[in-house]
């Protein structure tokens, strides 16, 4: 049973798409002018194209949810899909076929619960997994792996250049309140700041500052705040942020 399409928005990384080996049944979505290069380097994968006039990841995501309807979006540089709960000596890695099925089952569970935004854990640390509360109904979903179901009031602002995950999480809290977040699983991604192409082409400190100010303007300075370094947690840039939803 297919509840949603699994789509990989990609940009100028035709030789470095890794996600198709992590999850079965993915569709790579690229600009029309990049189609030939992607087909040459990814001949067995399904490729969808959008007009070249759709520039930037937020605009690309908005085009994807309008074109496909119910969709789960994955970044193109995912290295693995992992379980955060394991028995001693058991591998945490989930194979590509099972990864596809888990996404579909999670989408169906979200739909039955009345949620439109769904995803998985944002933390790779097994100690952050609470076995007594495996599914969270509020909070944040990661940009690298999240789904939007058809019929929502969700959209991606073209003003956002780097932080469409914060945008969609805050907007969902405002429009629908409920999310469906299965914290038993985690998508492991490469560092976007150092992986050339894709969002790295648009991401810089100026864009991060602009996003931070815009998110505060729309959702409030009490909801979107700067993250503070502490203990072993080091900031990658001065505009790393966190969100605090009123009812979380």
pLDDT tens for each residue of 191-210: 654 455 555 555 578 889 99
The residue whose two tokens read 């150092």 is 194
- In terms of average pLDDT, the best of 116-130, 155-169, 203-217 is 155-169
The DSSP bridge partners found for residue 189 are 78
Say whether pLDDT at 243 is over 50: yes
Beta-carbon contacts of 29 under 8 Å, excluding residues fewer than 6 positions away, are 7, 8, 9, 10, 47, 48, 49, 50, 60, 64
Q: pLDDT averaged over the chain?
A: 90
Element (H, E) at 208: helix 205-219
Task: Tell the burial category of 217 from Cβ atoms under 10 Å away from its Cβ (0-12, 13-18, 19+).
Answer: exposed
For the chain, list the domains and their CATH numbers: 5-204 (3.90.550)
d(CA 76, CA 72): 13
Report yes or no: 47 and 27 within 8 Å, Cβ to Cβ: yes
The DSSP bridge partners found for residue 148 are 71, 117
The residue whose two tokens read 């087909």 is 39
The helix/strand count (H/E) of the chain reads as 5, 12
Is this model's pTM higher than 0.85 or not?
yes
Other CB atoms within a 10 A radius of the CB of residue 10 amount to 25
Residue 32 has what pLDDT? 98
Residue 197 has what pLDDT? 52
The torsion angles phi and psi of 146, rounded to 5 degrees, stand at: -155, 160
Say whether pLDDT at 49 is over 80: yes
Triad 154, 155, 156: Cα angle to 5°: 140
d(CA 208, CA 200): 12
């Amino acid at each position: 049973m297919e509840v949603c399409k699994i789509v990989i928005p990609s940009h100028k990384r035709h030789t470095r798409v890794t996600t198709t080996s992590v999850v079965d049944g993915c569709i790579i979505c690229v600009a029309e002018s990049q189609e030939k290069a992607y087909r040459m380097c990814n001949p067995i994968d399904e490729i969808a194209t959008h007009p070249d006039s759709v520039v930037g990841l937020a605009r690309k995501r908005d085009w994807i949810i309008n074109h496909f309807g119910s969709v789960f979006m994955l970044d193109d540089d995912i290295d693995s899909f992992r379980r955060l709960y394991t028995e001693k000596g058991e591998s945490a890695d989930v194979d590509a076929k099972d990864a596809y099925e888990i996404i579909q089952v999670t989408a169906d569970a979200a739909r039955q619960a009345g949620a439109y935004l769904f995803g998985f854990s944002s933390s790779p640390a097994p100690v952050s997994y609470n076995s007594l509360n495996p599914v969270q109904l509020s909070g944040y979903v990661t940009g690298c792996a999240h789904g939007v179901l058809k019929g929502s009031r969700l959209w991606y602002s073209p003003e956002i250049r780097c932080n469409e995950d914060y945008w969609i999480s805050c907007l969902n809290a405002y429009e629908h309140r409920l999310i469906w977040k299965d914290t038993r699983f985690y998508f492991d991604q490469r560092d976007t700041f150092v992986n050339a192409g894709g969002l790295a082409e648009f991401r810089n400190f100026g864009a991060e500052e602009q996003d931070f100010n815009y998110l505060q303007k729309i959702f409030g300075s009490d909801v979107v705040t700067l993250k503070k370094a502490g203990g072993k947690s080091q900031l990658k840039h001065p505009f790393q942020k966190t969100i605090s939803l009123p009812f979380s």
